[in-house]
Amino acid sequence: MSLAERSRTIFADRTGPLVVDLALRLTLLDLLLRPIGNWAVRPLILGLAAVALLSSRWLHQPLLWLALAGLAGIRVFLDWPLADNHAYLLAYWCLAISLTLMAQDTDKALAFNGRLLVGLVFLFACIWKFALSGHYVDGTFFQVTLLIDPRFEGFSRIAGGLDAETYQALHDFVAQHRDASPAIGTSGIELPARFKALALAATAWNVSINASLAIAFLWPADRGPSRLRHPLLLVYCIVTYAVATVDGFGWLLLAMGAAQCTVEQRRTRLAYVAVFVLILLYREVPWADSVFMPLLG
């Protein structure tokens, strides 16, 4: 038995053309809703994505997906080393789609690639968080990030119970620019208990969900933790992208997750579409800043 055949039996589910089309269309929507690349690359990617979304003949054209993979790769190369991680993932995923559209067992090969790529993403994320970061598991990362990253201000203030003055004081202290000289007011800052609890809860949630996703997606199909992969990925996207506005990454993960639905899993497929739309709403309606912040005054 060849390596590919063995892979199929270990990892692949019973999928189908419906599922392949959904995964491809979600990927194209990701490209259209979150355009990537510079002035030269972007129009080409947008044009190819629009054509493929409108024409089912082009949707299944491997060369079109190979071109998208190439353009996404060129973008990573031109931006090196500044490109975000999902720029790399987009190139791998478009390459996977291109390769699998050349195969007779497109659905199984695509499901296999989606499973492996999602699993590896979270495996490497765990390696960084658990082993290499040095200040993630103890909660330092979230305590600092919730105060320093402007994208989290609304969430930090609402969930952490910080009024505007306290938030600003903590932000100014943590964001000081120091080059090997002592920070000003080192002993004067006391983090509110509720904010500390929020940072610890965020750490515990992220550690557990990242590890769970890595295990569930790398586990052989239809066995043990693998059965939980869809709900885990959907919950991860619902929670994470409500706070961290990295919609392009979320949509890409959802496309790869959708590629693994079986034909019978109609509700799961609908859930992937619903969460895709939800992430769009998160982006268009900054709930923390626009809806809840005015209530805090």
Partner 1 sequence: MISRLAATVRYWLPALLLTLVASNQLRLATTEGLSPWSGGGFGMFSSTDSPGRRHLHALVQNASIRREIALPADLEETVRRATTLPSRRRLGRLAAKLAALESRGPIRWDEIELQVWAADHDRRSLAPDGRLVRTERFTLESR
Q: Using an 8 Å Cβ cutoff, are 253 and 118 in contact?
A: yes
The rounded Cα 106 to chain-centroid distance in angstroms is: 24
Beta carbon of residue 17, minimum distance to partner 1 (angstroms, whole number): 17
Query: Among positive and negative, which fits the CA dihedral 227, 213, 86, 7?
Result: negative
160 Cβ neighbours under 8 A, 6+ residues apart: 146, 192, 194, 195, 198, 199
Which amino acid, 94?
C
Beta carbon of residue 294, minimum distance to partner 1 (angstroms, whole number): 28
What residues line the site for partner 1 (CB under 8 A)?
2-5, 7-8, 76, 80-85, 88-89, 92-93, 95-96, 99-100, 102-103, 109, 112-113, 116-117, 120-122, 124-125, 127-129, 132-136, 138, 140-141, 143-145, 147-148, 173-183, 186-187, 189, 191, 206, 244
Q: Is 27 exposed, middle or buried (0-12, 13-18, 19+ CB in 10 A)?
A: buried
Beta carbon of residue 185, minimum distance to partner 1 (angstroms, whole number): 8
Which amino acid, 31?
L
Nearer to partner 1, 57 or 177 (CB): 177
Beta carbon of residue 297, minimum distance to partner 1 (angstroms, whole number): 26
Q: Which residue has the tokens 């005015």?
A: 294
Nearer to partner 1, 151 or 283 (CB): 151
Beta carbon of residue 47, minimum distance to partner 1 (angstroms, whole number): 24
Nearer to partner 1, 46 or 144 (CB): 144
Nearer to partner 1, 82 or 193 (CB): 82
Instruction: Work out the number of other CB atoms within 10 angstroms of the CB of residue 196.
Output: 15
Q: Using an 8 Å Cβ cutoff, are 128 and 121 in contact?
A: no
Nearer to partner 1, 27 or 113 (CB): 113
